[in-house]
Amino acid sequence: MEKEANSGSDIYALVAWADAHRKQLIWGTVVVLALVAVVGGYLMHKNGREDAADAALFALQLPVPGRPEIQTAPVASFVQVADEYPDTSAGARAMLVAGGMYFEGNDFEKSRGMFQRLLAGHPDYPLANLAALGVAVNLEAEGKLPEAAARYEEIVHHVPQDPAWPQAQSALGRIYTQQNHPERAFDVYKQMLEERNGDSWTMEAQPQIRELLDKYPALRQQLAPPPTAPASTPAPSPIPPAAPTLDLIKPTSPQ
């Protein structure tokens, strides 16, 4: 019981730290690691191989952003679990953690490789969309903006209700702005506000829209409804003779 309580407090501390320092974090990394820590402890043990894989993973100390005093297991240890148990959920989690650690170490190619490996081997994994987001984040970090935009667009178009959606939308708007496509960036941010998700990514869309409007005043036309053409006046038609009507509300008096 005490172990579970300590684990829960660590998770809440991680979430609080991530929220307070999100401006200083590179896109996506903390989200990946936080969800790995939360989900990892609650997956069911299905068989002996799953048990062995879980035991190997739980023996390692997960990285906790903002707590440098905790000695984290080296990334090679997580890669080893992924190599020994690639067909297990623990192996998939190890791939996710290793991808995040490689990203933190600026080894974007290896990070992207781990996320792609997870997607190839575990397409139905509950956190597969975060791995897809990790691929896009690494492509962006490598300066491969067209490839990154294509990955973000795939997430946005296929998983609109997924937690990865607002982050992918925000990144997509950022890339469109960098590529000098203000109209497309404006549409992305506008859609985020229309969704009204209330998450921090959506709230950041408001200042992004203001910056775009200040720099490109012509975009303000997209905020107002388009003018309607004046309707042509139809030619007067002859008034037909009055027809008898039946009042269903007020009954007629008997003759």
DSSP string, 79-111: HHHHHH-TTSHHHHHHHHHHHHHHHHTT-HHHH
Which residues have C-beta within 8 Å of that of residue 141, sequence separation ≥ 6? 26, 103, 106, 108
171: nearest Cα among 144, 195, 136, 147: 136
Identify the residue with better confidence: 47 or 97.
97
69 has a pLDDT exceeding 90: no
Same domain (yes/no): 90, 184: no
Same domain (yes/no): 125, 154: no
The strand ranges marked E within the chain are none
Same domain (yes/no): 119, 208: no
- Torsion sign, CA atoms 61, 66, 68, 74: positive
Same domain (yes/no): 80, 93: yes
Same domain (yes/no): 16, 131: yes
Kindly state the tokens that stand for 65.
Answer: 């952003």
Lowest mean pLDDT among 38-47, 56-65, 66-75, 193-202: 38-47
Residue 31 is predicted with a pLDDT of 46
**What gap in Å lies between CA 192 and CA 204, rounded to an integer?**
10
Domain boundary residue, one of 85, 120, 142: 142
Mean pLDDT confidence for 106-113: 95
Same domain (yes/no): 25, 115: yes
Same domain (yes/no): 167, 201: yes
Same domain (yes/no): 129, 24: yes
pTM over 0.95: no
| 115 found inside a domain | yes
Q: How many residues does the chain have?
A: 255
Identify the residue with better confidence: 47 or 87.
87
Same domain (yes/no): 3, 110: yes
Instruction: Compute CA distances 104 → 24, 59, 81, whole Å.
Output: 13, 22, 19
27-48 core/surface letters (b: 16 or more CB in 10 A; e: else): bbbbbbbbbbbebbeeeeeeee
Rg of the chain over all Cα atoms, to the nearest angstrom: 28
Same domain (yes/no): 44, 168: no
| 33 found inside a domain | yes
Same domain (yes/no): 114, 78: yes
Q: Which domain holds residue 105?
A: 1-142
CA atoms within 13 A on the CB side of 40: 27
Residues 210-234 have pLDDT tens digits of: 999 998 988 888 775 544 545 555 5
Domain boundary residue, one of 116, 142, 168: 142
| 243 found inside a domain | no
| 241 found inside a domain | no
| 41 found inside a domain | yes
Domain harbouring 166, CATH code: 1.25.40.10
| 249 found inside a domain | no
- As a whole number, the mean pLDDT across the chain is 75
Residues 18-65 have pLDDT tens digits of: 444 444 444 444 445 544 544 454 444 456 888 999 999 989 987 776
Residue 247 is predicted with a pLDDT of 33
Residues 158-192 have pLDDT tens digits of: 765 677 888 888 999 999 999 999 999 999 998 88
Same domain (yes/no): 206, 103: no
Residue 224 is predicted with a pLDDT of 57
| 242 found inside a domain | no
Domain harbouring 108, CATH code: 1.25.40
Identify the residue with better confidence: 10 or 78.
78
Kindly state the tokens that stand for 157.
Answer: 């178009």
Number of independent structural domains in the chain: 2
Under 8 Å between Cβ of 134 and 99: yes
The single-letter DSSP state of residue 243 is -
| 236 found inside a domain | no
